[in-house]
Amino acid sequence: MSTDQKQEQEFIQFRYPRQVPYQHSLGYQSKFANGLKQGRILATKCPVCGRCTIPPRIVCPFHHVKQTEWVDQGQRGRLVSAFKINFPMFDPRTRELQSWETPLVAVELEGGASMDGWCSELDTSKLKTGMLLEAVWRPEEERQGRGDDILHWKPVEE
Amino acid sequence: MSHHLPEISDEPVIAEVIAHTNFLVSTGATGTRFLKEIRDNKKIMGLKCPGCSKVHVPPRLHCPTCFVKMTEWVELSGKGSLTSYTVVRYQEPYMPKEPPYAYGVIQMDGADTGLAHFLGEVDLDKIKIGMRLEPVFKEEREGSILDIDYFKPSS
């Protein structure tokens, strides 16, 4: 088949635009979500190794025992790592373009657990491992018990 | 740090998420040929396997039993028999019709597989497996399996 004939060949295709509404219970993680609504970060703690986990989980992945204790992780933490994504990405929940100016950071909280978030300092050369960061929250009335209730992490002077 | 803070509720939280998708699906060379014949000629075509001689409607490129490529197109009358059906009596988003309506699997004369489609012009309480059916084509056809409006009972 010549190139011209190939171009003439019709292929039928169709589009499936869908907006699928899901509702699901957060189950055991509900307490974590309720904490976020009140501007607090809670983690589960393993009774054997004392490791704190965010997002919380019922069973410690290392010791296979039930984690019944919830520990408040405070509002501050140390920077573990930071990186920037150099291409546009969409938030699948909102379909909005995420800023790729904003670095992503991993933070080790005062309570011992680690979590990810955005950083308010856009210049990655100013971000140093071990520096102190503080959570900046969405206004309370806008919080929905989701990870993005924390808008970003802000470097603080020591 | 944690001792003087008030207790956080463990009241269950329901998360609500809307997943947006926008898939673009190609029907491929085989599907396109099938849909074009329906759109342009009101003809229902199947593909015959050179190995087991089964005629597949809707057509597929390879026989699922013999794993060989099928190239022999067979024209069918469109008339066939009902092998299975279900009546939908509830509403959900993206349903193609207002309930109540019926889906059927129609095995066409000369075909060895069934085609799923709507049943129309039929009393939903009087659908019987084995009943004879024929396709009703839409006036305006656009290259979709819905160019067949539904299958109706034939005499």
Tens of pLDDT, residue by residue over A99-157, are 778 899 999 999 999 999 999 998 999 999 999 999 999 999 999 898 889 999 999 99
The whole-angstrom distance between A22's CA and the closest CA on chain B is: 5
In a domain, residue A11? The reply is no
Provide ipTM, 2 decimals: 0.74
Domain that holds residue A65: 26-155
Between A148 and A46, the higher pLDDT residue: A46
Instruction: Classify residue A2: in a domain, yes or no.
Output: no
Q: Is A15 inside a domain boundary? A: no
For residue range B30-57, what is the model confidence (pLDDT) as tens digits?
A: 999 999 999 999 999 999 999 999 999 9
pLDDT band for position A2 (cuts 50, 70, 90): very low
**A63 Cα to chain B: minimum distance (Å):** 24
Output the average pLDDT for chain A. Answer: 88
Sorted by where each begins, the domain ranges of chain B are: 28-153
Among chain B residues, CA nearest to A40: B8
Segment A83-90 mean pLDDT: 80
Residue A17 forms part of a structural domain: no
Chain A closest CA to B127's CA: distance in Å? 31
> Does residue B17 sit at the A interface (CB-CB below 8 Å)?
yes
Sign for the CA dihedral angle at B138, B141, B143, B146 comes to negative
- Chain segment B127-138, per-residue pLDDT in tens: 999 999 999 999
Number of structural domains chain A divides into:
1
pLDDT on residue B2: 47
Cβ of B17 and A22 within 8 Å? yes
CB B103 within 8 A of CB B115: no
Q: Note the pTM of the prediction, 2 decimals.
A: 0.61
Pick from B16, B20, B30, B36 the residue to mutate for testing the A interface (most A CBs within 10 Å): B20
**Residue A10 resides in a domain:** no
Tabulate helix, strand, coil % of chain A (nearest 5).
Answer: 15, 40, 45
Low-confidence ranges of chain B (pLDDT < 70): 1-4
Cis peptide before B100 (omega within 30 of 0): yes
CA distance B93 to B26: 23
